[in-house]
Amino acid sequence: MMPNRVAWWFRYRIIENIRIYKVDAADVGGRENDALRWLDQGELERWHDFALPDSKRRFALCRAALRSILCDHLGCANSELSFGEAEKGKPFAMVGGKRVEVGFNVSHSGDHGLIAVGDYDNLGVDIEIRRRRRDLDLLVPTVMSLSEQTHFDSVTEDGMKHDLFFDFWTVKEAVLKAIGVGMSKFEPSEIEVPLEIRDGQRSCLANFPPIGASTWRIEILSTLEYAAALAFIVDDARK
């Protein structure tokens, strides 16, 4: 359990066997110092490398929360927990130097963070604060497929267009984070947001042919303040 005055994270939702936690990464006195006591030497070096105070704080708070959550999930001490990196760069957890079968993913934007933890690896989560983008017209053709652009163009109100862009983006990013490649291997436009999600559903099963034949579950976690999505492979979840 996190030894601090007031926890800055809490369990938000449970979807199948995945626990989702929200992290409050706002600048509240004392939290960052509490968080730093949880980080190992490598993480402290990463924390020092961030140039901006806000970036340093958000990294420390999210990383410490992740450590506490995983220690609770795995029943281990913080000193026993470490992290490795798979071939594609996706991190994995180790206890006592041995890899353990737990999947996790972290995302933060502004002062909001999300952490997803489950008993298998193929899960991804993404969160983006809703904000206006001056370059939206340039971004849309690079991020969306022609079918998605048609849906996007049917929206006339400017604010709704920005909201829709981030809703689409977080689904795509969550899927790609789940397989550990981010936007490095696939173009965002190749990962089409399911029609059910475009029509307003907040949960559906989906397939993404460019990345394989697996069946995925997509969960929308968005609010008025931020867009957010969880993606995981159902085939693996039910083994």
**Tens of pLDDT, residue by residue, the chain (239 residues):** 444 456 899 999 999 999 999 999 999 988 999 999 999 999 999 999 999 999 999 999 999 999 999 999 999 999 999 999 887 778 999 999 999 999 999 999 999 999 999 987 799 999 999 998 888 989 999 999 999 999 999 998 988 999 999 999 999 999 999 998 755 678 889 999 999 999 999 999 999 999 999 999 999 999 999 999 999 999 754 44
* Cα separation, 38 vs 81, whole angstroms: 11
Structure tokens at 108: 């933060």
Query: What span, in angstroms and rounded, lies between the C-alpha atoms of 52 and 127?
Result: 20
- Are 218 and 206 within 8 A, CB to CB? yes
Provide CATH code, domain 125-237.
Answer: 3.90.470.20
| Residue extents of the structural domains in the chain | 9-120, 125-237
Same fold? 9-120, 125-237: yes
HSE-CB of 81 using CA atoms within 13 angstroms: 23
Please state which architecture CATH assigns to domain 9-120. Alpha-Beta Complex (3.90)
Q: Say if CB 140 and CB 152 are below 8 A apart.
A: yes
**Contact assessment for residue 168 and residue 144, using Cβ atoms and an 8 Å cutoff:** yes
The rounded distance, in Å, linking the Cα atoms of 48 and 39 is: 12
Helix and strand numbers (H, E) in the chain are 8, 11
